[in-house]
Amino acid sequence: MHGNDGKSGKHDVHETARHHGSAHGAETHGAEPHRAEPHGAAPHGAEPRDAEPHGAGPHGAEAHGAEAHGAEAHESGGHDKHAGHNPGMFRDRFWLSLLLTVPVVIWSAHIERLLGYTAPVFPFSARIPAALGTLVFLYGGLVFLRSAAGELRARQPGMMTLISLAITVAFVFSWVVELGVLRAEALWWELATLVTIMLLGHWIEMRSIQQAQGALKELAKLLPDEATRITSGGTETVAVSELREGDKLLIRPGERVPADGTIVRGSSTLDEAMITGESRPVERGVDDEVIAATINGDGVLEIAVTGTGEKTKLSGIMRLVADAQSSKSRAQLLADRAARLLTWVAIGSALVTLVAWLAVGATIDVAIVRVVTVLVIACPHALGLAVPLVVAISTAIGARHGLLVRDRRGLEEARKLDTVVFDKTGTLTLGEFRIVALAMADGVTREQVLRLAAGVESQSEHPIARGIIRTASEEGIEMPTVSDARGLPGRGVAATIDGVTYEMGGPALLEERSADVPASLTATVSDAKKGGQAVIYLLQDGRVLAALAIADAIRPESYEAMRALHALGVQVTMMTGDAREVANAVAAELGIDDVLAQVLPEDKARHVREIQESGRRVAMVGDGVNDAPALATADVGIAIGAGTDVAVEAGHIVLVRSDPRDIPRIITLSRASYRKMVQNLWWAAGYNIVAIPLAAGVLAPWGIVLTPAIGAVLMSLSTIIVAVNAQLLRRARL
């Protein structure tokens, strides 16, 4: 990312000039003598007040590993209830258990009486419920028993403990009856249907979680299996795993880039949408970076590998997504505590239910059925799913839009933001010079001026010259044929185009040529002075043809970002090391609420703290390296990744692309995610207020009694409702 406002310290302009050649003599308004230009370049005849140092060095560290964050598993208090589980395992156990459950139900005496039929009788037919019910318990129920053992070892009983307690009580009771120890009715059909329904519910849950976390698998699929490596004798096809840094690769049109690298030959457009979220292909040429998994356009590229395997930006993104999906948020911690509390409430309710039914003269089998139903219906299954599923979906949605959540607390807190503090250069602005205003003399068109100016400056490597050329190129102006290009020491540059000599420079050139600025140009020149912008003049034979105001141009996206933030009720502050005139000019154009100018890097965190002390919830948006103290101080630190640097350590959220419109998207996603969490928590916890008393049999005097199987259905239905509601988050419009 460009332009770290005031981040490189102050450079003496005369010292800089000795390194970069003669000045262009551009006119400024009281320019500061110690203000460095972007890239640390010499003043192109100008001493523009917005000329900030462009930052020293790369945007951030190499993509970091998950180990840096100490990610916790999606779990309840440290024990993952689904450790080692997958949807396929639950699916297989469900179908086989269902196959075994059907005969258990058919040959159940209770069901026969209830439906008024007689099941076929043959030797040992009476033992079918016990035999197959035991198989269902040992096969289908084993997964719950193992998970419950893990919860108990961790001293954190939860939903698996409740399920296991319910099916174990039913199993033991049924065998006690089967062996004739008690005269009662066994619970084989209740046990079998309960296990089968619970397996179905967990299968659905695991599928939902897997789908939500599918972003990681989709990212992993983006890398090709093979690459074309350039050798001394030609090319060879090798596995991507064999690539090493420094290898030269050939990337043909339409192929995916197999590794991070730098283009050494060729140019093309690349589709980076899967990495950056940018829908439009981007132009890439020699010395530009390319990212693994992006798609090459029509050109043929040769690249030098700079990162493979775990060192690629894609791997960094995958680690960030995985860390975010596994890290704990406040809402998750609350849900975990509620689930543990509900577990003890359920066990207590089951004991009270047993005592109460026996006290009123119920038989032991009736009392046990009530106990099992309470244990089943009170399982905090939906509660355990309420938050993790929303988080998994929200982080996946964010990753698809180039918003990488390093810490879920950051995404959670973003909904509360009422102030966003932006770094200026490279964030709200391009961090590169552009022509920001242009005035022409009578009889001269804008196209003519851009063509001539770009031609005169075409042989210069000065940042201002590069900015003029970029502006012309972006407007589709063709570069003219230039001859006799030369520097004018202390004044500017000159060149011959179409047989006519043109000059470009600042006030020194005007003075030497005794040239007057036409009245049609004075308003533009005056406005540029007030904004601290550099002014370059185009001359022909001592006549001023045009005045060009040069500055660090505002990103087109910044305008929309400011409107969106204000629509969300968020106040915007710009904090920059730039001169106040420059900062105020940018702020006025964008409609920014407050400006903090001439701020040193070491003072940024203090300013953020002062805003917080006024009662505001603050997000800081910066490059994640030099702005690290401010990012860490803010309630939410948002680090700019500038397209490829996705691993900055200071921010809660990393923006893959340098698009300020992503900030309101973060707030919108945070608010939508929070609404879903609250809805799910209320449903998951609130349903038990009605469900537990109903399962205990408080309505039994009126003939309303739930069986364990119906309790399992209701519990599973509650889980499905939570899962479906979480999936609706995908409809959020960012």
- Which residues carry out catalysis? 423
Ramachandran region of residue 155, left (φ > 0), alpha (ψ -120 to 50) or beta? left
Structure-token match 């690629």, residue found: 312
What tokens does 728 get? 């609706």
DSSP assignment of 418-441 equals -EEEEEIIIIIEEEEEEEEEEEE-
Q: Using alpha carbons only, give the angle 301, 303, 305 rounded to the nearest 5 degrees.
A: 155
Name the DSSP letter for residue 38.
Answer: G
Q: Using alpha carbons only, give the angle 616, 622, 628 rounded to the nearest 5 degrees.
A: 85
Which distant-in-sequence residues (6+ apart) come within 8 Å of 315 by Cβ? 63, 309
SS3 state at 503: strand
Structure-token match 């630190």, residue found: 637
SS3 state at 497: strand
Do residues 514 and 493 make contact, with C-beta atoms less than 8 angstroms apart?
no
Handedness of CA 196, 201, 205, 211 (dihedral sign): positive
Burial track 437-476 (b if 16+ CB lie within 10 A, e otherwise)? bbbbbeebeeeebbbbbbbbbbebebbbbbbbbbbbeeee
Q: Which of 633, 662, 663, 664 is nearest to 650 (CA)?
A: 633
What tokens does 468 get? 């003029």
Please give the C-alpha separations between residue 654 and each of 636, 649, 650, in angstroms, as whole numbers.
Answer: 11, 9, 9
Q: Which of 733, 608, 633, 547 is nearest to 46 (CA)?
A: 547
Q: Which of 247, 277, 272 is nearest to 262 (CA)?
A: 247
φ, ψ for residue 181, nearest 5 deg? -70, -35
Please give the C-alpha separations between residue 319 and each of 214, 400, 524, in angstroms, as whole numbers.
Answer: 14, 14, 50
Q: Which of 730, 731, 668, 718 is nearest to 393 (CA)?
A: 730
How far separated are the first and last CA of the chain, in Å rounded? 24
Name the DSSP letter for residue 45.
Answer: S
